[in-house]
Structure 1
């Protein structure tokens, strides 16, 4: 079939279909495949998990494809509305959100949504837009405004309470602020002030949050209670040895000692069944993901694109580092999924959205560079 200009339809549609960055798409696909294999073992006793995750993956790729077709200039125009919508939804959650397990994190709009997930992308988008507007005129008050823009949603999320997500949103915003050119001296000063404020943070933490910190320091003070899950997780990781026990042969997982084994603690299942060898392969895949994201950020065509791509990439790093750290007993348990491996729709949609942003920046940056050379 040919169009009026004589070009075949497939040739006309090609720029809108072939939008994925090949290296990034391959890395993400490999991580998803590893996640599906691990989920098939971890969720063996829970029918429908793999099928549901396949549906989630299809939706994530659809979102990735849609966003990859959106030019960064359009994302800039969406930054303020997305941030405003996210803050409005967080306020709605605070006023009449759905309470589960003592936390008010969800909003019922026909279906239950968790607005804090939106802020993981809306926050760096907003700050990248803000610093793009301030480029060449960076003053201390610009960073003060950026800190205020970051503090509003982070504070609303922390009140739910959801300290884990609040820290992730804060990290996403801090990455943009750092990449915008904030002085190392200021960063060191802020880090020192943060360490000095730890006693104040301890005073305002909820009881369950304090228990997580105490459990991290000594999980064996309550081995059959608060420390049970992290102890079993560390046993699973250690028992995997060099080569692992083999797929579907992980005893800790299949005897149901590992909590949330299909979501937050899927890394423990993977470690037990594939051992140190599997962990090294998995870490290489995550390092390749970070490398490709930073490569896209360095070669981005605009300041806005560089900030956004850098922040999205570092969000991936934070997810992976925090999840592996909490499952290994290095940091407190904060409920962060392992990127592209943990079961779950909302987190996978957010990750797919981030992947689409990186692919859009790479695609349109390449077009700008090609036009400049021509």
Structure 2
């Protein structure tokens, strides 16, 4: 549980901020880091296209500008108003997951995307934020006595398992696991005892052989390839082998911008999406890679600082969930690129090409900034 003692010691004061004061209370260092990360993404995507702004870099830039405006707009909205729509947002996310299963576009054997107003969206990306909002609303006033009651925890568990099950049906194992981990993190932040999750994890480990046989063929192939990439170097193991070559060939300072051989000769797989970090490592080397990692760490650290500095439980849990989502994005993608975990199709936020993940991350950051701006407001006792 995020300890109460870290909250400000002064009494709550209900503040009605004007727009200018809200604007000034935004964490502008956080916004700067987000913009710098998007700049890294533009640079990498420009290189991925062979030194051209199309088709990736300019498109991503325009998306980011729109998403940045959306983020700042959400930051100005009172977090108490956002709290009131937590469960409607969760319900919308579930409906979108059901709709995409029925009417979504099939790509690479999975139904994950749907068209809305000419835009392609991936509901599973939005669901991670909506789940965070719903759980934060549910646990906003939970006491330790309630948290020890199984009947009190069952609705929260169902709220996590429902979207996770729907995402698994797409199928999208990577996003389903991240969604479940976000839910577990919010529950731990609310004060649910860790040993309860240890029991569930133990059961899952025992059932792992059975679960493995229920995976799709391509998912089992990813696990097999992870264990031994050289078993199929021109097939299932090609991606991770080429990724490791690019990572290693960058050396200390890199081969130079637009001079990465693996990138420019098109040996890198999915270099504009899942494996975009390999472009950075090859062209800017260890030093450039560490600079990007430092930028990612700064964003994660500021997200968690917002959680521990917020004086109300709803904001703390929302910030914790948003920060965890961004951390898991980074951890899974970078671990995948380095061959530490099986390839799972998880993008590197704000750097990889794609609109759904970018929009979902920036929406989450908007809510996070709203928490920061309204970190010392007082919540009334109404239920939501």
Q: Structure 1 length as normaliser, TM-score?
A: 0.91
Distance 1:13 1:76, change over 3 A: closer
> Which residue pairs with 1:189 in the alignment?
199
CA distance in 1, matches of 2:308, 2:243: 38
Any residues of structure 2 matched to 1:167-316 within 5 Å, and which?
A: 167-316=177-326
List alignment gaps of at least 5 residues for structure 1. Answer: 1-10, 369-374
CA distance in 2, matches of 1:12, 1:121: 27
Q: Is residue 67–residue 356 contact of structure 1 (8 Å, CA) maintained in 2?
A: yes
CA distance in 2, matches of 1:286, 1:116: 23
CA distance in 2, matches of 1:12, 1:315: 30
CA distance in 1, matches of 2:124, 2:199: 29
> Which residue pairs with 2:102 in the alignment?
95
> Which residue pairs with 1:56 in the alignment?
63
> Relative CO higher for 1 or 2, CA cutoff 8 Å, sep ≥ 6?
2
CA distance in 2, matches of 1:361, 1:291: 15
User: Would you tell me which structure has more helix in proportion to its own residues?
Assistant: 1
Q: Is residue 312–residue 376 contact of structure 2 (8 Å, CA) maintained in 1?
A: no
CA distance in 2, matches of 1:13, 1:254: 48
CA distance in 1, matches of 2:309, 2:197: 25
Give, in angstroms, the shift of residue 300 of structure 1: 0.9
Are 1:121 and 2:129 an aligned pair?
Answer: yes
CA distance in 1, matches of 2:354, 2:137: 30
Distance 1:312 1:38, change over 3 A: same
Q: Is residue 274–residue 345 contact of structure 2 (8 Å, CA) maintained in 1?
A: yes
Are 1:134 and 2:130 an aligned pair?
Answer: no
Q: Structure 2 length as normaliser, TM-score?
A: 0.89
> Which residue pairs with 1:44 in the alignment?
50
CA distance in 1, matches of 2:101, 2:291: 42
- Per the alignment, in what secondary structure is the counterpart of residue 242 of structure 1? coil
Give, in angstroms, the shift of residue 333 of structure 1: 0.9
Q: Is residue 19–residue 359 contact of structure 1 (8 Å, CA) maintained in 2?
A: no
Q: Is residue 19–residue 76 contact of structure 2 (8 Å, CA) maintained in 1?
A: no
Give, in angstroms, the shift of residue 219 of structure 1: 0.6
- Aligned length, in residue pairs: 359
